[in-house]
Chain A
Amino acid sequence: MQNRASSIEKSRLITRRVFMLAAAKLLLIGGITSRLYSLQISDREKYELLSDKNRIREWKTPPQRGFIVDHFNNILADNDRVFQVHLDLDQIKDFNEVIFKLKNILELSNNELKKIYREKERLKPWDTLVASDNLNWTQFSKLNLYLHELEGVKPVVSSSRFYPYKDSLVHVVGYVGAASQKDIERKDVIKENLVPGLKVGKSGIEYAKETELIGKYGIKRYEVNSSGKRISQIDYIKETQGEKIKLTIDLEVQQLAQELLKGKAGSISAMDIYTGEIIAMASSPTYDPNKFTHGIGHKDWGEIRDDPLKPLVNKSIAGLYSPGSTFKPLVALAALEFGTIDPERPILCKGHKHPYELYGVKYHCWKKKGHGYMRLRNAIKQSCDIYFYEMARLLGVDRLAIIAKRYGLGSNILKDLYFDEKKGVVPNTFWKKNAIGKSWYLGETVINGIGQGYIQTTPLQLCLMTAQIANGGYKIKPHIIQDESINYESVRLKIAKQFVNETADFSNDEKFLVDRDYKLYERLYRNPENIKFIKDAMFGSTNEQYGTSYKSRYDDTKYQFAGKTGTSQVKRITEEERKLDLDQSQIEYKNRDHALFIAFAPYKNPRYSISVLVEHGGSGSSGAAPLASKLIKKIIDRHSLREQIKKGSTSLA
C-alpha cells in the first residue's frame, strides 16, 4: 500500500512539475514571439533596407560632359566614344597574372605597366582601376576575344572629351584630366559624380564651369550574391549630359588670331566694344588639350612645361607687360580731363643729342633725330616720348592712376572664370609707399607717361581700355560666356538712358575727376570732347602719313581702323647701347622689345577693339600692327553674320 501511495504521489509530483515547466515554456515562447515581432514588424523597414543593401549593388556610370560651343554653335569641346579596360580589383585573384596577360594581349609598354602598378597602390582593394582609357579598336576587339580567361577585367565603352580644334582654344576652353584628390575636395559635384576614370576640368572654362558641365552620373543597379557576383540587372538610370556652355568666341577669328601668332610668343584679344563680348582671346605658343585627356606622357609634358616661351601661361590674362606707348592715349585723356595740358601747346623734341632732362637725369625719345615741335594730336600720332614726359610731369602720377584704373587697367576682368588671371599694377604714390616702402620720384612719373616703369597690364586689359575709349567712354563688362540679354541695341539704349535728365554741360563735373566705382554703361569721361580728341588722334596714328601704324591702314572705310602702337622695353637701355644703335634683330631674343598694338574698328561707328602683343617682337608698328590689321578685316567681314546669329538666338529665346 505504501508503494501504491508513493507511486501516486510520484505521479502527482511529476504532473505538477510538468505544468510548471509548461508555464515556463509558454513564457519562453512568448519571448521568442516578441522577438519575432520586434524584428519582423517593428524594425522591418530597417532590416528590409539592410537586406537591399546586401543584395543590391550600384555601379555609377560616368556623366556626360556638356558641350562648349562658340558663338556660331561650333562645338569646341566634344565627347568622343572611347574604349577602356577597367579592372575590378576585388574580383581579381592574381593581379600579376592578369596584368601579364593584359600586357601580351594589348601590347602595353613598360611605362603603362608602371602606371598601372602605381595606380593600384593608390586604390583601395575594392576599387576599379582604369588600366587603359583609350584603346584602339584592334586592341579592344582582341581583349573581348580573350575575356574568358581574364576574370575581373571589364571592357568598357565610355565617352571622353575631345577638342576638334586642338590647340586653337586651349587657353580659353581649358582641358580635362583625371579627377585628383584636390578636385574631389574642391567641388561636391565632383565627389558626387565620382566614378573610376572620371575626367574633370583642369583649366579654363572646363575648370570654372565644372558644376554646369559635369552632368549627372547614371546608375546601374544589380542584384549580387554574397561574393559580389552580379546575378541580374534591376535598374538602369541613364546618365545625363551637362549643360551646354556657349561662348562669345568666334572660332574663325580665334583660329586666325592663333595662326597669326604662330611661331611667336604673344597674345591677341578682341572684343565687342558695346556688349563686352570677347570674340577672340589667343595666346601663343599653345598646345593640344587632347593630350591631357588620357593622361599626358612624361615627354610631352616636359616639352610643354619647359618651353621657354611658356605655352602654359594664358598671356592674354596672365601675362603682365609694360603697355609702352599704347598707354599714351590714356595719359593724354587724363591730362585733357584734368585740364593739365593745352592740346595746342607745342613742345620741342630735339632727338638724342638733346634729351628731356629732369633733376639731371636724361630721358630720350625713341626717335633718334627727334620729332621737332609737336602738339598733342601729333604727339599721339607719331608717339613722341618727349611730349609725354612733359605731359606726365604736369599731370602727376596720382591723377593718371585715377583715369587708368577707370578704363580697366590694374583690375581683374575674368577672374571668376580664369583663376590664373593677373591684375597688373597701376602705380601711384600711395601704391609705392605700400608695396615698396619708398616715396615716389618724379622721374618715375615721367617714364610712366610713356607706359614704362612700374605699370603692368595684361593684353586683355589694354583691349578693354581701347574698347571703353572707342565706345565713347562708357563702362562695359567683358565676358566670354554668352549672355543673350546683352546686345548692341540694348547697350546703346542703356547708355542713352543716363542722359535723359542731364544738362549738356560737362565742363565742370568734378564727379568725374575722383576715383570711384562706376556702374555698368555709366559714362567714364568728364567731357566727351576729350574722348573724341583721343579717338581722332588714334585715327591719325593709323591713317595719316607719319602715323606710327600708317603702313597697316585700310583705305576702305568699312575696314578703316584707328590704333596706337607700343614698343615696350624689356630692359633699360644703357648709354653704350644707345650709341651702338642696334637693330632689334641684332639684340638677343630675350632682350628685344615687346611689340604692342591697340586698335578699334571700324573708325566710323566702331564696334570692335583689339589688342595685340608679341613678346620680343620688336617695334609695335612692324611687329604687332600688321597682325591686328589682318584680324580686323576678318572680324569686320564676319560682323553681319555675327549679328544675324545673335538676333536669331535672341528672337528664339
Chain B
Amino acid sequence: MLTERLNTRNYSLFEKLKSVDYFLILIIMLIGAISVFAIYSTERGEFSFYTKNHLIRLLVFFGMFLVLSFVRITFWYKNAYFFYAVCVSLLFITLFFGLMASGSRRWLDLYFLNLQPSEIMKIAIIVCFARYYHRIQTAEIQNYKFILVPLILLLIPCYLVLQQPDLGTSILIAGTGVIIIWLAGLNIKYFVYSALLLIVSLPFAVSLLKPYQKSRILTFFNPDRDPLGAGYQIIQSKIAIGSGGFFGKGFLKGTQSYLEFLPEKHTDFIFTLFSEEFGFIGSIMLLLLYILLIYRIISIGIYTKSFFSKLFCFGFASAIFLYIFVNISMVLGLLPIVGAPLPIMSYGGSSMLSIMLGLSIVMSCKIYSQDQISNY
C-alpha cells in the first residue's frame, strides 16, 4: 500500500498561534519566576552573579523555547537519529576534551556556554526512541531484535556518562529510556526479569562503583556514619526542610542556607532552600505546579495524533517526573545523593537548555498536532 508519506499540510500563522498551549507557557513562566527568587535567596538577597546568570539563561532559553516551538514536529522526526548521533559524539568528545571540575569531566567549553552534553542527551534519547518505536508494530515489539537495538542505543550514552563520571545523569538517562520502552508496549515480564536480574547483580555493580559513590550510598542508609563528611549534606538538608515548618521561615530568612550550612544550594539543593523559606505550604504549591506541568504535557500527548509525538510527550513527561522525583527524594533523604538537578529551578545552563528544548518539542507536538507522520 502506501509507503513513506508525510502529511505536509500548511498551517496558517493564526492557526499556529491559536494552537499554542498558553497554559503550559504560564506554568513554565511561574516556575521560572519562582526559580529566580530562589536563586536570589541563595545569594542572601543580592542581585549578583548567580541570580543574574540564572535570569539571563532563563530569558534566553525561554525565548529559544518559544522560537523552537514553531519548528515543525516532522523536523524532529526526520533528524531524530542525527540528533542522537550528535549527542553521542559530543559525549565522546567530552570524555577526552571536556573540562575537568571536581574530579569529573562533564562539560564542553563552547565559549558562550559550558555545555553539558549529558543533559542534552536526556532529550535526544527520548526523541530517538520515539522515532524508533514509531515505526514498529505492537506485535513486533516483543521481538528480540527490537529489544536489543534500543537497549544498545540506551547503553551507549549511559556508559559514556558513567565514564565522566556522573552517576546521577546516567541513572536518569537509563530510567527515561526504560520508561519509554515500557510505554512503547514491551511486555511487562521483561521488566520483572530485569528487575530480578538487577537485584541479583547489585553486589557486583556496587563493587564497580567509585569509592565516593559507594560512600554516598552507604551514607544514605546511615547519615550519622559520617555527619561531617558524606552524611553532612543529607543531615543539613533535612534540618533545613524540617525547620521550615508549615509556613517556612520566610523569604530570604532561611538560616540554614544563609549561614552556609546547606551545600550546593544553587543546584541540587535548591528545593531544600525553597522548602526552608516557604515551608510545607510552599513545597506543596511547587509540587502542584510540577504536577500541572506534567499533566499538561500528557494532555498534549493524548491530544496529538502521531505516535511519535505521543511517545515523545509521554516520555518527556515521565522524564521530568523522574528528575523531580529523584531530586526531591534525594534532598528529603529518601534516596542517596546522586547529582540530579530540579528542572527549571536548579542553577545550570545545560539543564535549563535541555528542559526548554524538550518543552519546545512538546509545544511543537501541540501546534502541529494534526501532522500524521509516516504511515508504514
Contact = CB atoms under 8 A, between A and B. Distances in A.
A55 B276 CA distance: 14
Contacts of B242: 39-40, 43-44, 46-48, 50-51
A348 interface: no
A7 B311 CA distance: 13
B364 interface: no
B313 to A, nearest CB: 9
Contacts of B259: 54-55, 223-226, 231
A25 interface: yes
B95 interface: no
Contacts of B302: 15, 18
Contacts of A29: 287, 291, 325
Nearest first, the 8 A-B pairs at minimum CB distance are A47-B242, A51-B243, A225-B259, A40-B280, A39-B242, A226-B260, A47-B243, A48-B243
B182 A39 contact: no
B338 interface: no
A18 B183 contact: yes
Interface string A491-519: 00000000000000000000000000000
B329 A32 contact: yes
Interface stretch (B23-31, B157-165, B167-175, B233-241): B233-241
Contacts of B244: 40
Nearest to B311: A14
A295 interface: no
Contacts, number: 130
B248 to A, nearest CB: 9
Contact of B284 (A36, A43, A231): A36
B334 A35 contact: yes
A28 interface: yes
B179 interface: yes
Given A18-B302, A21-B314, A226-B261, 10 more contacts: A6-B138, A14-B307, A15-B302, A18-B314, A25-B325, A29-B287, A47-B242, A51-B256, A52-B243, A225-B260
A37 interface: yes
A41 interface: yes
B328 interface: yes
Interface in B273-297: 275, 279-280, 283-284, 287, 291, 294
Nearest to B256: A51
A11 interface: yes
Contacts of A40: 241-242, 244-246, 275, 279-280, 283
B184 to A, nearest CB: 7
A10 interface: yes
Interface in B297-351: 298, 301-302, 307, 310-311, 314, 318, 321, 325, 328-329, 332, 334
Contacts of A305: none
Contacts of B53: none
Contacts of B179: 21
Contacts of A17: 182-183, 185
A125 interface: no
A219 to B, nearest CB: 19
13 contacts: A10-B137, A10-B138, A17-B183, A22-B298, A36-B275, A40-B241, A40-B283, A44-B243, A48-B245, A54-B236, A54-B239, A54-B259, A225-B261
A9 B240 CA distance: 49
Contacts of B240: 51
Nearest to A31: B334
Contact of B239 (A3, A18, A47, A225): A47
Contact of A21 (B183, B246, B256, B283): B183
B114 interface: no
B1 interface: yes
A361 interface: no
B221 interface: no
B12 to A, nearest CB: 27
A50 B325 contact: no
A344 B290 CA distance: 118
A196 to B, nearest CB: 24
Nearest to B185: A13
B82 interface: no
A37 B240 CA distance: 14
A28 B243 contact: no
Contacts of B307: 7, 10-11, 14
A50 B239 contact: yes
B333 to A, nearest CB: 8
A11 B301 CA distance: 10
Interface residues of B, number: 48
A7 B310 CA distance: 12
Contacts of B318: 21, 25
A223 B261 CA distance: 12
A386 to B, nearest CB: 86
A36 B288 CA distance: 14
A18 B280 CA distance: 29
A31 B333 CA distance: 12
A490 interface: no
B245 A55 contact: no
A33 interface: yes
A227 interface: yes
Nearest to B136: A10
A516 to B, nearest CB: 66
Contacts of A22: 298
A44 B246 contact: yes
B235 to A, nearest CB: 8
B59 to A, nearest CB: 30
A18 B279 contact: no
B376 interface: yes
Nearest to A3: B376
Contacts of B238: 39, 47
B283 A10 contact: no
Nearest to A223: B259
A6 B261 CA distance: 57
B243 A50 contact: yes
B138 A55 contact: no
Nearest to A37: B280
Interface in A180-224: 223-224
B332 A54 contact: no
Contacts of B183: 14, 17-18, 21
B246 A14 contact: no
A43 B298 CA distance: 36
Contact of A32 (B246, B310, B311, B325): B325
Nearest to B291: A29
A50 B241 CA distance: 11
Contacts of B376: 3
A225 B239 CA distance: 15
A44 B185 CA distance: 44
B215 interface: no
B303 to A, nearest CB: 11
B294 A51 contact: no
B255 interface: yes
B104 interface: no
Contacts of A50: 239, 242-243
B375 interface: yes
B294 to A, nearest CB: 7
B259 to A, nearest CB: 4
A33 B284 contact: yes
Contacts of A227: 260
B325 A54 contact: no
A186 B280 CA distance: 49
A28 B325 contact: yes
B319 to A, nearest CB: 11
Nearest to A12: B138
A75 B129 CA distance: 92
A25 B334 contact: no
Residue among B137, B259, B260 having the largest count of chain A Cβ atoms under 10 Å = B259
Residue among A9, A13, A223, A226 having the largest count of chain B Cβ atoms under 10 Å = A226
A444 B174 CA distance: 105
Given A32-B332, A33-B287, A51-B256, A9 B138 contact: yes
A25 B332 contact: no
Nearest to B325: A28
